[in-house]
């Protein structure tokens, strides 16, 4: 094999890489611009004002990416979110997820701290996956500070299997509705 063979081989390989639609690393600024479409429901800066809509601020980027892809594929069912996610490219999903993950979800000053001791003891088994302070870990979502009504709805969805969630279906099945109430109140107020 001569040098020109190698040269054309290298050219071929570089052209394949430069023309294939690779997803580049996340662009938070582009994510912020695209995320203006989300604030009507998820609130300004990803802080929701209603238990119908989850906070996205401070959520794990990898988890957000996975959920947006799950809405696109129909693995996770919600008509509103399925239509919102339908038009997002892979790159936009990466950018938007990194943007929301970068936003703080700090507690409002002077908000009442609800310490629900029973709820706390029932969440001990959750922290191995959801992080020692329930602020998420790797692709496991943050639960701390999430809207309590949203947490409750998702746990019921896992329990009745209208949402598929790997280990969450059997975990939620083992919880009573009262457990779910207490756990959601406790985590939402963390
Ligand atoms: C019309 C209202 C609406 C708009 C606009 C909207 N969403 Fe949502 N979103 C929802 C609802 C409702 C849910 C909860 C779905 C459920 O109950 O499973 C949700 C859930 C999500 C979730 C799952 C969060 C979690 O904790 O599992 C993600 C991620 C998400 N939305 C991202 C976005 C992004 C990104 C945009 C903008 C491109 C957006 N949403 C725009 C209503 C909306
Ligand atoms: C073995 C690991 C594991 C344990 C233990 C676990 N979870 Fe999860 N949890 C997950 C995974 C994985 C997901 C994401 C599922 C998906 O992809 O939709 C999740 C998702 C959730 C969600 C949805 C969050 C959102 O934003 O929509 C809630 C709520 C939740 N878990 C609550 C709990 C509670 C409460 C416990 C303890 C009683 C618990 N989890 C224990 C792995 C775990």
> pLDDT for 123-138, tens place per residue?
999 999 999 999 999 9
- What are the pLDDT digits (tens) for 54-102? 999 999 999 999 999 999 999 999 999 999 999 999 999 999 999 999 9
Q: How many other CB atoms sit within 10 Å of the CB of residue 11?
A: 10
Alpha carbons 54 and 44: distance in angstroms, whole number: 12
Alpha carbons 86 and 132: distance in angstroms, whole number: 34
Do you know the residue count of the chain? 190
Is pLDDT above 60 for 103?
Answer: yes
Whether residue 68 contacts residue 78, with contact meaning beta carbons closer than 8 Å, is answered with no
**pLDDT at residue 108, as a whole number:** 59
* Cα dist from 50 to 41, 58, 140, whole Å: 8, 17, 23
- Residue 11 structure tokens: 């050219």
Whether residue 85 contacts residue 74, with contact meaning beta carbons closer than 8 Å, is answered with no
Is pLDDT above 80 for 8?
Answer: no
In sequence order, which residues have a C-beta less than 8 Å from that of residue 120 and are 6 or more positions away?
186
**pLDDT at residue 104, as a whole number:** 93
Is the CB of 118 within 6 Å of ligand 1? Answer: no
* Choice between 182 and 107, residue whose per-residue pLDDT is larger: 182
Our mutation pick for probing the ligand 2 site, out of 168, 176, 179, counting the most ligand atoms within 8 A of Cβ, is: 168
Alpha carbons 34 and 28: distance in angstroms, whole number: 10
Is the CB of 77 within 6 Å of ligand 1? Answer: no
Mean pLDDT of 106-121: 65
Residues with CB under 6 A from ligand 2: 54, 66, 123, 125-126, 128-130, 140-141, 143, 151, 154-155, 165-168, 171, 183
- Residue 138 structure tokens: 């790797």
């Amino acid at each position: 094999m001569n040098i020109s063979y190698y040269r054309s081989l290298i050219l071929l390989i570089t052209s394949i890489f430069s023309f294939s639609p690779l997803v580049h690393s996340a662009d938070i600024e582009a994510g912020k611009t695209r995320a203006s479409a989300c604030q009507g429901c998820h609130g300004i800066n990803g802080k929701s004002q209603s238990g119908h809509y989850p906070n996205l601020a401070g959520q794990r980027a990898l988890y957000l990416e996975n959920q947006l892809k799950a809405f696109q594929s129909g693995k996770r069912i919600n008509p509103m979110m399925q239509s919102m996610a339908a038009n997002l490219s892979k790159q936009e999903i990466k950018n938007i997820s990194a943007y929301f993950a970068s936003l703080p979800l700090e507690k409002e000053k002077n908000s009442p701290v609800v310490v629900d001791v029973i709820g706390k003891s029932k969440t001990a088994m959750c922290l191995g996956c959801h992080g020692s302070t329930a602020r998420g870990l790797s692709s496991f979502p943050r639960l701390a500070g999430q809207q309590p009504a949203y947490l409750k709805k998702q746990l019921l969805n896992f329990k009745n299997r209208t949402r598929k969630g790997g280990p969450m279906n059997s975990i939620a099945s083992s919880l009573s509705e009262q457990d779910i109430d207490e756990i959601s109140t406790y985590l939402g107020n963390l």
